[in-house]
Structure 1
């Protein structure tokens, strides 16, 4: 592990660093592996992302979830900059947005994409999934690049787009047991149809062979985007490598999901924390994931 992993950031970011440590350990480590002067702003951005990603976990009905998401939208769109006063995470986020000139519309699009999480509607197509990932994980990588090395951030756009889709698919595979219990299906309907399944058939899991085929096809889609991200990795500036550190976790998840097949419904494939830290540390040092 690197010698200096103590967060160095202005006091405004103390809360977001602590919140991120509790809500998203992988991106917390990504902060610690980034340049010291960037850790605070990155923690605010990542903690905001974690906060809106977990809204479904905090509410029983969609309407309260939409209200929570609307509150964040109001904070970002308030021209006076006072809507988030008193909320330390909102204050840290707005400081980050102003200090690094982050595009507010990208952040509000990220919020809008999370409305899908509140309902049990099926993911209609591969394009719908890629759009969802593009407005969440891909956007997060690109916003991180604007913090780390804004003058070269645009060069990372293609890699960020594909890496975000790969990350999203890996994350959805990890959460598959939870989503099944909730009745949520993020697998594109066309992918399920190609394996002889529909939404209900997938959730019941009666045809294990077809479910295994669907899981492997989903992991294969993630691998496809990961390969495209790697092909575009040469355009990522040295300073923007930290934005991609967590992508190192995707391929091991694909490997585990393909081995588990239909058993993934009932077993966790979340790698141990020490192993995830090792993969991310190697990625941070080498720039390869």
Structure 2
């Protein structure tokens, strides 16, 4: 395993321990590619948090597009330009024959993260999730078992929406006055809540919106979990995050606004092992 992949493994272990443990259930020769994919996901997801204005964020995302374009134009001259994550990702795309358009669509969707535009509807949130969280799961499935990966499309679709919905709930709890509002406008309207009410901490309105968003996330997570059992075992490491996602959602349902869970490492490992054996 070359140095860029070692760095990706370090990033995933540091920033996403749930996925780091899940990756251990993949075949050893697939783990470096999964870590490269997940490190890329983490790098692009954090762009909003590390820039103060949208333009620098767009420049960072364009840099990634340029790397993809260079790979497509001439694979022999492609390179990560000093970024170990980019180098590992480009090698992963080549060696696993992953579709470049999936990465381009993810980068395009991430532009939404840079602005405070409203999420118009549940359908729009589902589309956003499909191009980000769900896409990463499908790409991971392709890394694991290219032939069987299409069978995971429905599970990935529902799981991705649940991931985004839970992240929206946790983001609101962490910094409500400055958080981007990922709650769909049609959900807010249905419960008589506004974006301003969420950001200023209107207790009653926020409680109604949270309840509706939790139900939305639960519906999608339930659909994903129902489909998980039918997946070939070769694909399951890409979807083991359903276990910690369910823990977070149960914490939110129990009144913990942050949805944070700190599972004992052995308990986490046992939960993943049990999921693999279903």
**TM-score scaled by length of structure 1:** 0.88
**Unmatched tracts of structure 2, length 5 or more:** none
Tell me the CA shift for residue 11 of structure 1: 4.3
Whole-angstrom distance in 1 between the partners of 2:23 and 2:197: 41
Pair 279,22 (structure 1): closer, same or farther in 2 beyond 3 Å = closer
Which range moved further: 129-138 or 222-231?
222-231
How do residues 76-225 of structure 1 correspond to structure 2 at under 5 angstroms?
76-78=68-70, 79-81=73-75, 82-206=78-202, 208-225=203-220
* 1:255-275 Cα deviation digits (max 9, x unpaired): 222232xx72xxx33111526
- 2:223 maps to which of 228, 232, 239: 228
For the pair 1:62 / 2:65, whether they are aligned, the reply is no
For the pair 1:32 / 2:20, whether they are aligned, the reply is no
* 1:101-156 Cα deviation digits (max 9, x unpaired): 01110011111111111111111100111111111111111000000111100111
SS at match of 1:239: coil
Asked if the contact 1:163/1:229 (under 8 Å) is kept, the reply is yes
Tell me the CA shift for residue 232 of structure 1: 2.2
Whole-angstrom distance in 1 between the partners of 2:146 and 2:195: 42
Asked if the contact 1:192/1:202 (under 8 Å) is kept, the reply is no
Paired residues in the alignment total 274
Tell me the CA shift for residue 288 of structure 1: 7.9
Pair 121,179 (structure 1): closer, same or farther in 2 beyond 3 Å = farther
* 1:53-105 Cα deviation digits (max 9, x unpaired): 00011110000000001101111121224252322111100010001001110
Asked if the contact 2:193/2:208 (under 8 Å) is kept, the reply is no
**TM-score scaled by length of structure 2:** 0.92
Asked if the contact 1:42/1:147 (under 8 Å) is kept, the reply is yes
* 1:163-215 Cα deviation digits (max 9, x unpaired): 11112212222222235232411000111111111111221122x22211211
RMSD across aligned C-alpha pairs, in angstroms?
A: 1.9
Asked if the contact 2:240/2:275 (under 8 Å) is kept, the reply is no
Asked if the contact 2:172/2:179 (under 8 Å) is kept, the reply is no
- 1:251 maps to which of 246, 250, 259: 246
Whole-angstrom distance in 2 between the partners of 1:175 and 1:274: 23
